[in-house]
Structure 1
Amino acid sequence: MNYYAVLDVGGSSIKYALMDEAGAFIEKSSVPTPKTSLTLFMDTVDSIVKGLGKNQPLQGLAVSMPGAVKVETGMIEGVSALPYIHGPNMKDLLQERTQLPVELENDANCAGLAEGWIGAARDVNDYLCIVIGTGIGGAVVLDKKIRHGKNGFAGEFGYMLMEDYLGRQEVAETWSSIAAVGGLVNQVAKRKEMAPDDLTGKEIFTLAENGDTDVQDEIEKFYKRLAVGIYNLQFIIDPEKILIGGAISHREGFVKQLNETLQQMKYDQEGLTVQVEKCQFGNDANLIGALYHFLQRQKEGRLKL
């Protein structure tokens, strides 16, 4: 059995695990992410890898990272909560420091890959993974492979323009700004004349359950806005499955209500059903997907030899 060090680098913590080639966890934990220093980051990763490799040889280091990861070059473009990862070649630096083969992939793409390997999309080749949080991101997977797009923006569903795009206001509403959890918070705060920082998504659903009709109305709009984006993506890509992830996807009744909203939409094509399923993995998704990405990249490299 082969063993691998796997990292999920986030803005607040680095989740890490020792995993085998079947995707099973041998051990896992987390540490705070260094906020400002690349040197501290490299020291932290080095310490993690040495600890994971203490009792068995490691075959490689698989990493899920924020930002626009260029898997071929090892560079990370775009912006994230960790400015120091943008600029240097992170793959080269990690390989030099750990003396292990290293593969990097974007965190949302890793979550999508996990579902296709041993999760909710393991029985299909073409699927979308939509992750709903403060914004909306995700992954496009065709033939079991992540599609990055020419500029690396494939799967950035949240940038779709949704409302007021004809110039009736200075900034058009995007799918993220009105249909993510952050968008719902902003809409409810505006209606209740509150500061968005004084509300959470959980509190909003509690208000609705307690009979607040204003909040109930905003939640209904939230579901409809989500459904419009999903409907459009179905017709653009026509995947075999559309998976929904993010903390809100685990809320009881959320996926059921979203599918009911989708069913209320008029389809011009008979026989087409637009519906979603919940992602199987939660906090472990990025780790599992990072390992799968590593294994696939290494396999492709051997085939080229």
Structure 2
Amino acid sequence: MLNRGDMHMELQRYLLFDIGGTHVKWGILNQEGKILSKNHFEVLDVHDDSVLQGMRNIIISHKNVVKGIGISAPGFIDSATGYIEKGGAIKFFDDFHLKSILEDEFNVSVTIENDVNCVALAEQWLGNGKGLKDFICITIGTSIGGSLIINGELYGGHSFRAGEFGYIITEDMNHRTPLEGRMGRTSSMSILRKKYANHYSMPLCEVSGERIFQDFDAKDPFASELVDTFYQNLAIGIYNITSIFNPEKVLIGGGITARELFLDELTSKIDSLNEFFDIKIDLCYFKNDSGLVGALVHHLNQKTVRHG
């Protein structure tokens, strides 16, 4: 990990990107993790090169004032080579060598890491994972993402798929396909919104997570069943994960964690299942900036590895 004693007196600046399915966040951070400026641009089409072109425009404007570029992105990513096998929400990045393309074009050091792995790295450095040797990150959004820190190191697995907790099956097999019962389909905000919209014959764009939980708080029968099932499946997934890895803590991120009662409601479900494991749940310290900070950590760590 980073050693502040090894840093030069003059703080270097880095350009960081956090690629999502609807927006690409970017920022200038110094090597201590301070955000000097940040902004974002919209993802116009996940199938064309609009994300790449947007990144190019930002790099052209800032390449002369930054030491390097770090990228947080969805999908299956070989962080050592920068090769994206599957680009997640950004289909254009399937089978794509983003790192080498940008390095060749701009003659600057580029690193890339999976988005939830970046969340874990940010939490390990300056967040609620600081000082822990073994912890897990779970993010709840349009799907379920995950990351593992084992013995102080990010664990990626033999084909950079470790931590894909969204594929854990948490419901019975009485679905069209077994994967219909996976956690990414049973405990994500997107599935909550779709089920609510279908039940009330509403356009999906008019259904927000806030609306569903407002109805839940108002004791609406359907919303109560929907949210209870959401928490139940999330608790089952967390219980299964912790029974395998026995982490010191499970950190959870995503917009839903802004709900004041979220931790209490989830912990209650986990406690109803658990008799054997000491399962500590906490929220991620970093919110919307976790991808930028984690991309910086990964970039600095890779730089340290390269230079020994």
User: Is this a same-fold pair by TM over 0.5?
Assistant: yes
Three-state SS of the structure 2 residue aligned to 1:202 is helix
Partner of 1:50: 60
Partner of 1:9: 19
Partner of 2:28: 18
Q: CA deviation at 1:11?
A: 2.6
Contact 1:111/1:289 (<8 A) preserved: yes
Q: Comparing 97-106 with 140-149, which one deviates more in the overlay?
A: 140-149
Identity over aligned pairs, percent? 29
Contact 1:46/1:97 (<8 A) preserved: no
Partner of 1:100: 108
Q: CA deviation at 1:6?
A: 0.8
Three-state SS of the structure 1 residue aligned to 2:287 is coil
**Which AA in structure 1 matches 2:283?**
K
**Which AA in structure 2 matches 1:29?**
N
Q: CA deviation at 1:41?
A: 4.3
Of 134, 141, 163 in structure 1, the residue corresponding to residue 171 of structure 2 is 163
Q: Residues 6 and 181 of structure 1: is their aligned pair in 2 closer, same or farther, counting only changes over 3 Å?
A: same
Three-state SS of the structure 2 residue aligned to 1:163 is coil
Q: Residues 224 and 64 of structure 1: is their aligned pair in 2 closer, same or farther, counting only changes over 3 Å?
A: same
Distance 2:147 2:30 in 1: 24
Partner of 2:291: 286
Would you say 1:146 and 2:147 are equivalent positions?
no
**Which AA in structure 2 matches 1:205?**
F
Distance 1:14 1:187 in 2: 28
Of 86, 109, 113 in structure 1, the residue corresponding to residue 117 of structure 2 is 109
Q: Residues 218 and 12 of structure 1: is their aligned pair in 2 closer, same or farther, counting only changes over 3 Å?
A: closer
Partner of 1:261: 269
Partner of 2:216: 208
Size of the alignment, in residue pairs? 294
Q: Comparing 72-81 with 90-99, which one deviates more in the overlay?
A: 72-81
Q: Comparing 253-262 with 240-249, which one deviates more in the overlay?
A: 253-262
Partner of 2:3: none
Task: Return the TM-score normalized by structure 2.
Answer: 0.88
Q: Deviations over 1:104-146 (max 9, x none)?
A: 0111111111111101101202110000112111111113322
Matches within 5 A, 1:213-224: 213-224=221-232
Distance 2:269 2:53 in 1: 49
Distance 1:11 1:230 in 2: 25
Q: Deviations over 1:249-272 (max 9, x none)?
A: 1111101211122222241x3xx4
**Which AA in structure 2 matches 1:51?**
S
Q: Residues 53 and 73 of structure 1: is their aligned pair in 2 closer, same or farther, counting only changes over 3 Å?
A: closer
Three-state SS of the structure 1 residue aligned to 2:80 is coil
Three-state SS of the structure 1 residue aligned to 2:24 is strand
Q: CA deviation at 1:43?
A: 4.1
Distance 2:133 2:44 in 1: 37
**Which AA in structure 2 matches 1:282?**
K
Three-state SS of the structure 1 residue aligned to 2:130 is coil
Partner of 2:305: 300
Three-state SS of the structure 2 residue aligned to 1:211 is coil
Task: Return the TM-score normalized by structure 1.
Answer: 0.89
Distance 2:295 2:62 in 1: 16
| Structure 1 vs Structure 2 CA RMSD | 2.1
**Which AA in structure 1 matches 2:85?**
E
Three-state SS of the structure 2 residue aligned to 1:162 is coil
Distance 1:285 1:262 in 2: 26
Would you say 1:242 and 2:250 are equivalent positions?
yes
Distance 1:15 1:186 in 2: 26
Distance 1:240 1:302 in 2: 32
Matches within 5 A, 1:55-66: 56=65, 58-66=66-74
